[in-house]
C-alpha cells in the first residue's frame, strides 16, 4: 500500500468531509496473533542509499500494550 492508497481509503471513510464520526475514532493495528495495539507514532524513514528503489517509507509504530483480543464477530467491518 502506498500513501496515496491510504489517502484514498481514508477519504472514502469520511466521504471527503471533516468532523464525521470517523474523524474521532482511535486507530489500532492488529498484531499477527490477533491483538489490537494502539497506533502511537507514524515515521517517515528515508533511505541513505543513493538511487534506492525505495527512497522513503512510512512506518506505523504501535504501542506494545495489547489492548484486547480482536473478536471479529463483535464488530461490524465496513
Task: Read off the pLDDT of residues 19-54 as tens digits, 9 standing for 90 and up.
Answer: 667 777 888 888 888 888 888 899 999 888 888 888
Helices assigned H by DSSP within the chain: 3-14
Question: What are the pLDDT digits (tens) for 2-25?
Answer: 889 988 888 887 776 776 677 778
Residue with cell 541513505: 48
How many alpha carbons lie under 13 Å from residue 7 in its C-beta half-sphere? 4
Which comes out higher in pLDDT, residue 36 or 68? 36
State pTM to two decimals.
0.64
Amino acid at each position: 500500500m502506498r500513501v496515496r492508497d491510504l489517502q484514498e481509503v481514508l477519504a472514502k471513510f469520511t466521504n471527503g468531509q471533516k468532523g464525521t464520526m470517523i474523524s474521532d475514532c482511535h486507530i489500532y493495528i492488529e498484531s499477527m496473533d490477533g491483538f489490537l495495539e494502539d497506533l502511537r507514532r507514524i515515521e517517515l524513514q528515508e533511505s541513505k542509499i543513493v538511487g534506492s528503489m525505495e527512497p522513503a517509507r512510512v512506518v506505523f509504530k504501535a504501542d506494545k500494550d495489547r489492548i484486547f483480543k480482536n473478536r471479529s464477530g463483535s464488530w461490524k467491518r465496513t
